[in-house]
Structure 1
Amino acid sequence: MASHLLSCFEIPTSITGKIDSLLLKFFWSHSGIQGMHWVGKRKMHLPRGMGGLGIRCISTLNKDLLMKQVWRIVTHPQLLISKVYSARARFLSPTPSQERRYSGRQSYGLRGLLHADALLSTGCNWKVGIGNSILAGSSNWVNGKSPTSHPGVLLATEKDWTVNLFILPQTLTWDVEKVHQCFIPADASTIISMEFPAL
């Protein structure tokens, strides 16, 4: 199967399962005679470094290529494909507080890209940067979750915090005192151990 199709459309699992079984039959057969399957399917799909045979699972390859396409749409907004699909949907919103939006009916290609976008966004980490658009109290910016504030902090003040309040503007490093004052110790140590915003 051409890799072009795998990078454009989400192939149904029934079809990818049949292709996988055909590949495995071809691997074990000898001059047209069906051979004995000496190793299980899971072991066949494991990489060689992990003790497998390194035969690619077609459904996994399909998801990988679609995620690569989504990443290309996000990082190269000047491309025609980026302009076409970005007019219909927002991929990998820059901050966790922004919701994805969809407009109209979804084509088969867009549906696969949206599923790949959901997979990609669960596995992506992002840097804080200057932090002026990230709400510190409600956005999931600390290892995929929202940090918990100290019990003494008022909710009225917490809702207006942005992450740049916890960054020293001169050195672009974390303001350790302020982080420890505002968040519980476990989350404060996680924030301080995060990469410096300037990097």
Structure 2
Amino acid sequence: MSLFRLPSKLVHELHRMSSQFWWDSTEEQRRLNWAPWHKLFRSKDCGGLGFIDLTIFIKALLAKHCWRIIHNPNTLAARGLKHCYFPETSLLKANCGSSSSFLWRRFMCGREIISQGSRWRIGDGTMVGIYSDRWIPRPSTFKVISPIRLGAMATVAELKLSSGA
């Protein structure tokens, strides 16, 4: 289930079945509505019942698979995917071609979630683009907002070299 995105119609049907279990009253048996439906999906810390929204849960599982490939690049699965789909770049910068496999398209869904919530740690700066990557510790976009004025300079490491440090 962690690599398959369920159709929205199926997710809606599963949620409907869950709500019927909790609140469906019949003439023989009357059930009490414990909480509004939208509160069921809140965490228990926030006053909800802690039910899991399946679409969000499956997206999180897909992101977890991508995270493992990024942090364990020497595994057989990571090496196979790199060889087929992103031999010259990283997983975060790979493209989803028109003839990509079902598995790779699912990984692209997980990659979107990771790219929304991650940013670079500079290190030596050779892999981090000045204008294209998220590396600024500012929560608005985490990117440089100023217009491109540095010409051919592309990485943060080149900024360090040009400043004479």
TM-score higher than 0.5 = yes
Rounded Cα–Cα distance in structure 2 between residues aligned with 1:34 and 1:100 = 55
Rounded Cα–Cα distance in structure 1 between residues aligned with 2:38 and 2:15 = 11
What's the % identity of the aligned pairs? 22
Rounded Cα–Cα distance in structure 1 between residues aligned with 2:129 and 2:79 = 28
Match of residue 19, structure 1, among 9, 14, 19: 14
* TM-score (normalised: structure 1): 0.63
Rounded Cα–Cα distance in structure 2 between residues aligned with 1:162 and 1:71 = 24
How many residue pairs are counted as aligned between the two chains? 154
* Equivalent residue letter for 2:75: L
* Equivalent residue letter for 1:49: D
* Equivalent residue letter for 2:155: T
Deviation at 1:52, TM superposition (A): 0.8
Q: Which runs of 5+ in 1 are unaligned?
A: 94-98, 169-177, 179-199
Rounded Cα–Cα distance in structure 1 between residues aligned with 2:12 and 2:36 = 14
- Deviation track 1:10-50 (CA, whole Å, cap 9, x = no partner) reads 11121122112222322345899573544232210000111
Q: Which runs of 5+ in 2 are unaligned?
A: none
Deviation at 1:53, TM superposition (A): 0.7
Matches within 5 A, 1:112-131: 112-131=106-125
- Deviation track 1:143-196 (CA, whole Å, cap 9, x = no partner) reads 4322426xxxx93x443153235559xxxxxxxxx6xxxxxxxxxxxxxxxxxx
- Judging changes above 3 Å, is the alpha-carbon distance between structure 1 residues 139 and 74 closer, same or farther for their aligned structure 2 residues? closer
Deviation at 1:56, TM superposition (A): 0.9
CA RMSD of aligned residues (A): 3.1
Rounded Cα–Cα distance in structure 1 between residues aligned with 2:103 and 2:154 = 39
Moved more, 20-29 or 32-41: 32-41
Match of residue 110, structure 1, among 104, 108, 131: 104
- Judging changes above 3 Å, is the alpha-carbon distance between structure 1 residues 89 and 14 closer, same or farther for their aligned structure 2 residues? farther
2:35 counterpart SS class? coil
1:121 counterpart SS class? helix
- Contact 2:126–2:157 at 8 Å: present in 1 too? yes
* TM-score (normalised: structure 2): 0.74
Match of residue 38, structure 2, among 39, 42, 54: 42
- Deviation track 1:88-115 (CA, whole Å, cap 9, x = no partner) reads 434643xxxxx42234523333222211
- Contact 1:135–1:159 at 8 Å: present in 2 too? no
Q: Which residue is equivalent to 2:129?
A: 135
- Judging changes above 3 Å, is the alpha-carbon distance between structure 1 residues 120 and 33 closer, same or farther for their aligned structure 2 residues? farther
Rounded Cα–Cα distance in structure 1 between residues aligned with 2:72 and 2:103 = 18
Q: Which residue is equivalent to 1:195?
A: none
- Contact 1:45–1:52 at 8 Å: present in 2 too? yes
Rounded Cα–Cα distance in structure 2 between residues aligned with 1:108 and 1:37 = 41
